[in-house]
Amino acid sequence: MNASVVDPRLEGRSVKRIAFPADLIAARVAELGRDITAAYPDGDLLVLGLLKGSFIFLSDLVRCIHRPLKVDFLVASSYGNETVSSGFVRLVYDPETELEGKHILLVEDIVDSGRTLSRVMALLQERHPRSLEVCALLDKHIATHLTYPPKFSGFDAPHEFLVGYGLDHAESFRHLPYIASLQ
């Protein structure tokens, strides 16, 4: 959709286009769930959501993973109220779950600069998990320096500022059922 989108949930703003409609997201999340189920046939699996952006994706994803698992969260911030990462990563909440010896799957909404992801993965690796991988809903493919690139990726993201399905701008628009390019 190329015309501006008018939606009452947009608080009087419009978006340039819907990049990923809700039905396409749902189908891809189901595929990711099947892939993750097959990739982890045994062992303790901890699905670790990187908040706040991943919470909607994570909740849909874990319901599509058909094996025992546990869920926990961590919070890291690098955007604040801006549309570009500040480059400074601040950990706000650290998971309380024991990570040693477990398969850890970090669920991220979008891989953009990779700064947050690199910082978080280094922290998690120090806790001696059995394995450590990333599942990202969106990947902009601009973070070429990552030690842990996403093993599971939903979509290649356009180089636009995206909102919806957990992605926000200044804490708004997370609740949209689609992903759109902000005007």
* Active-site residue identified among 112, 139, 156, 168: 112
| Strand 179-182 versus strand 152-156 pairing type | unpaired
Residue 20 has a pLDDT of 97
Residue 42 has a pLDDT of 94
Residue 2 has a pLDDT of 47
Question: Strand order in 90-93's β-sheet?
Answer: 90-93, 70-77, 45-51, 103-111, 131-139, 152-156
Task: Map out the domains of the chain with their CATH numbers.
Answer: 5-182 (3.40.50.2020)
Annotation marks residue 72 as catalytic: no
Residue 82 has a pLDDT of 53
Residue 80 has a pLDDT of 53
Question: Which residues of the chain register pLDDT less than 50?
Answer: 1-2
Neighbours of 121 (CB within 10 A): 20
pTM for the full predicted model: 0.87
Residue 123 has a pLDDT of 85
